[in-house]
Amino acid sequence: MTQAPIFVLLANRSAYGRRVCLERGLITIESVGAFHVSGPAGEDLTPKGARLRAILAVIALSPRKKVARRWLEALMWPDREAEQASGSLRQALSGIRRSLGPFAHILMADRTDISLISEKCRIDVLDSTNSVLKRLDAGHNFLEGVDIPSENFEDWLRQERSTLYAKLDAHVEKQASHSLAAGLTAPEIELKSPEIPRLYTVAETKGVRFDAFIAEAISTQMAQTASEHVRSEVFILDGKVTPAVLAPGAKCTIRVTEQNNQLLALVRLTKEPGGKLIWTRQISIDAADNLAAVDAAASLAIEATEAFAICAHSASNAEKANALAASALQHVFSFDTNRLIKADTLLAQAHDLDPFAPRPALRALSKAFISLENNSGASEQTRMEVNALIAETLRVDSNNALALAFLADVYDLVFKDTHTALSYAQVALKNNPGSGYAYASLGGLEMRRGREKVALTSAWRAQRQLENTSLQVFSLMRYCVAAMSAGEFAEAKAAARKASLLAPTSRPPLRHLYALYLHEKDTKRAQETLATLQKLEPNFSMAYLRENPDFPAASLRHMGFDKMQDVEV
């Protein structure tokens, strides 16, 4: 008997699956890629809104498709009081039932639990494993576009994605007949624990197409960024065969697919050996935007590098120093005096462990910010310390784009030398067009030269490249100030609002947001913002800025916002 071609068998099996759903009255939940719920005859039953879709997915993936009400409320609304969260859940369940229409009875609820009738629904990740693995391999992600402002849900989502990717890796490894490591002859790849942490990047592609080119570009940018930001050795691997990494470290896998003029880039960072998921991100890139791919690659590279730095593998001195420096970075850009001092302490400790791991330029920048926030300018002692750190930077990091970008701000803030600062920022971008901080620095410098439109363009590139990184709030504020200078107040307000949501205890975003609401004569929002700000800075007001010329709010004074009259709180 002749065996049918495999695609015929798959088509028949798919048709059989649809027939079973129709005969049994089953609904089908597709969670990998765009979330979709369909009825037995293919009718669209997808709930409207990310939160409703997330709730349905959580219930469907829970043991016996049942969850406790209180647990679900805490997962989706962790910041709300119990009564308010309970009311929100009731509304959400009503919304899901409306979407399910004649199949609403499948969703059941009582005083303690929420559940789905198991016999009446199928979910792809449990019932269509092979199809799910193919979609993951093609670059799709679990619950694409379902973003909920809840840390508890984010933790759940991260764990579910980790489980799926572990299945994908096991599937790919099983099918691979050769290991890439067998073809590597470089002496660096050894069966021993390295002193310097290693990052392996691999762009997994399926042909010579535009998406393959972008995947390779992201891999190259990843290697350059990791080398600049942390003390590491980076190896770019050929992605035609799944690599088997022999030395401890991390592997960064990049997959790019093209769909309807949009590029979907999925980047995963796993610990090696072992394959434990450390970090993952999926973004879409507009193929028609010539700069979008460069900026997206830069953003992904920085975010992955920060995750790599914080995750210790063999706890060598270099890795400990990387982790300390990564932690310090969070404090350097807080513009809080106490946190800046803590950052300087962390960087000193990192330097003692490994003098080459933390960039000396970062410590010079932290000292510059300390002098700025102390309203005292740079003392002679600070100038001497900064000069020593600049000399060390030029000795060990003379071609490092990130270090040179840091020095640009150091020369501007400490020595008021805009000309030298500008040259450092320009050289940094020449060395690495994916250096988002260099764009941020250039934006500030161009603003000082009165070139507001050029400054706005540079700041715009910076906030695109630094998205989802520890520098995102900083870049948003550079963009906010540049937009205010250029008269683009709606853009400035959007940037300041986003920065304030990302960093609710940071004062600069709230200061500028308050000024922008005053400018709009939006009294209600100005009052709300000032009340929030005064919990952090009890004395803050525009009157206080006028009476205290040394208070660090140069951008507001430069544009004359300090002359506006305050609202009553």
> Is position 473 within any domain?
no
Burial degree of 260 (CB within 10 A; 0-12, 13-18, 19+):
exposed
What is the rounded CA–CA span in Å between residue 191 and residue 198? 13
What integer pLDDT is reported at residue 375 of this predicted model?
Answer: 58
> Is position 326 within any domain?
no
CATH of the domain at 278: 3.40.50.11830
348 sits in which H/E element:
helix 337-353
Query: Is the pLDDT score of 191 beyond 50?
Result: no
What are the helix (H) ranges across 115-150?
Answer: 124-127, 129-137
Mean pLDDT value of segment 303-322: 74
- Nearest-CA neighbor of 136 among 10, 277, 3? 277
What integer pLDDT is reported at residue 17 of this predicted model?
Answer: 44
Please list, in sequence order, all residues whose beta carbon lies within 8 angstroms of the beta carbon of residue 385, skipping any fewer than 6 positions away.
Answer: 364, 367
252 sits in which H/E element:
strand 249-259
Placement of tokens 């305050």 in the chain: 566
Least-confidence region, from 43-47, 332-336, 433-437, 474-478: 332-336
Q: How confident is the model at residue 1 (pLDDT cuts 50, 70, 90)?
A: very low
> Nearest 5°: phi and psi at 346?
-60, -40
Least-confidence region, from 240-244, 417-421, 450-454: 240-244
Residue 439 sits at the vertex; the CA angle it makes with 510 and 472, to the nearest 5 degrees, is 40
What integer pLDDT is reported at residue 460 of this predicted model?
Answer: 94
**Residue 234 in tokens:** 């980076």
What is the rounded CA–CA span in Å between residue 29 and residue 252? 30
Query: Do 157 and 231 belong together in one domain?
Result: no
Residues 507-527 have pLDDT tens digits of 889 999 999 999 999 999 999
Identity of the highest mean pLDDT range in 77-86, 139-148, 193-202: 77-86
Domain boundary, last residue among 171, 202, 233? 171
What is the rounded CA–CA span in Å between residue 461 and residue 482? 12
**Residue 72 in tokens:** 């679900």
> Is position 371 within any domain?
no
Query: Do 132 and 196 belong together in one domain?
Result: no
Query: Do 146 and 231 belong together in one domain?
Result: no
Query: Do 117 and 215 belong together in one domain?
Result: no
What integer pLDDT is reported at residue 378 of this predicted model?
Answer: 67
Query: Do 130 and 40 belong together in one domain?
Result: yes
Residues 85-126 have pLDDT tens digits of 889 999 999 999 999 998 999 999 888 889 998 888 888 888
DSSP state, residue 44: B
CATH of the domain at 163: 1.10.10.10
Query: Do 206 and 241 belong together in one domain?
Result: yes
38 sits in which H/E element:
strand 36-38
Displacement of CA 273 from its chain's centroid (Å) = 24
Identity of the highest mean pLDDT range in 18-32, 50-64, 172-186, 328-342: 50-64
Placement of tokens 């030269």 in the chain: 449
Q: Which residues pair with 36 in a beta bridge?
A: 30
> Is position 25 within any domain?
yes
Please list, in sequence order, all residues whose beta carbon lies within 8 angstroms of the beta carbon of residue 479, skipping any fewer than 6 positions away.
Answer: 443, 456, 459, 460, 462, 463, 491, 492, 495
Query: Do 204 and 303 belong together in one domain?
Result: yes
Give the CA distances from residue 170 to residues 87, 133, 276, 277, 279, in Å, rounded to whole numbers and listed in that order: 42, 10, 12, 13, 18
Query: Do 151 and 289 belong together in one domain?
Result: no
Q: Which residues pair with 234 in a beta bridge?
A: 199
Mean pLDDT value of segment 121-135: 81
172 vs 427: which has the higher pLDDT: 427
Least-confidence region, from 45-49, 146-150, 156-160, 199-203: 199-203
Q: What share of the chain is helix, strand, coil (3-state, %, to 5)?
A: 60, 10, 30
Identity of the highest mean pLDDT range in 265-269, 358-362, 428-432: 428-432
Q: Are the beta carbons of 68 and 176 closer than 8 angstroms?
A: no
Residues 469-505 have pLDDT tens digits of 888 888 999 999 999 999 999 999 999 999 998 888 8
Residue 100 sits at the vertex; the CA angle it makes with 259 and 43, to the nearest 5 degrees, is 50
What's the whole-model pTM score?
0.62
Handedness of CA 161, 164, 169, 172 (dihedral sign): negative
Query: Do 61 and 166 belong together in one domain?
Result: yes
Least-confidence region, from 119-123, 182-186, 217-221, 521-525: 182-186
Query: Do 236 and 306 belong together in one domain?
Result: yes
Query: Do 156 and 271 belong together in one domain?
Result: no
What is the rounded CA–CA span in Å between residue 211 and residue 264? 9
Least-confidence region, from 278-287, 384-393, 510-519: 278-287
Percent of the chain whose predicted confidence (pLDDT) is above 70: 82
- Nearest-CA neighbor of 505 among 477, 537, 481? 537
Q: How confident is the model at residue 211 (pLDDT cuts 50, 70, 90)?
A: low
Q: What is the rounded average pLDDT for all residues in the chain?
A: 79
Q: How confident is the model at residue 177 (pLDDT cuts 50, 70, 90)?
A: very low
Q: Are the beta carbons of 47 and 99 closer than 8 angstroms?
A: yes
Placement of tokens 């107040």 in the chain: 489
Q: How confident is the model at residue 312 (pLDDT cuts 50, 70, 90)?
A: low
Q: How confident is the model at residue 241 (pLDDT cuts 50, 70, 90)?
A: very low
Least-confidence region, from 121-135, 389-403, 507-521: 121-135
Query: Do 33 and 106 belong together in one domain?
Result: yes
What integer pLDDT is reported at residue 565 of this predicted model?
Answer: 92
Residue-number span of the structural domain to which 247 is assigned = 192-310
What integer pLDDT is reported at residue 266 of this predicted model?
Answer: 83
User: What total number of domains does the chain contain?
Assistant: 2
Residues 352-383 have pLDDT tens digits of 887 766 678 888 988 888 877 665 566 888 88
Query: Is the pLDDT score of 240 beyond 70?
Result: no
Least-confidence region, from 42-51, 162-171, 379-388: 162-171
> Is position 527 within any domain?
no
Mean pLDDT value of segment 327-339: 77
Query: Is the pLDDT score of 530 beyond 90?
Result: yes
> Is position 281 within any domain?
yes
Placement of tokens 């206080």 in the chain: 544
What integer pLDDT is reported at residue 155 of this predicted model?
Answer: 76
Domain boundary, last residue among 277, 310, 343? 310
Residues 147-172 have pLDDT tens digits of 788 878 887 887 787 777 666 655 55
What integer pLDDT is reported at residue 2 of this predicted model?
Answer: 35
Neighbours of 83 (CB within 10 A): 8
Q: Are the beta carbons of 114 and 93 closer than 8 angstroms?
A: yes
> Is position 443 within any domain?
no
CA atoms within 13 A on the CB side of 160: 21
> Is position 180 within any domain?
no
Domain boundary, last residue among 253, 288, 310? 310
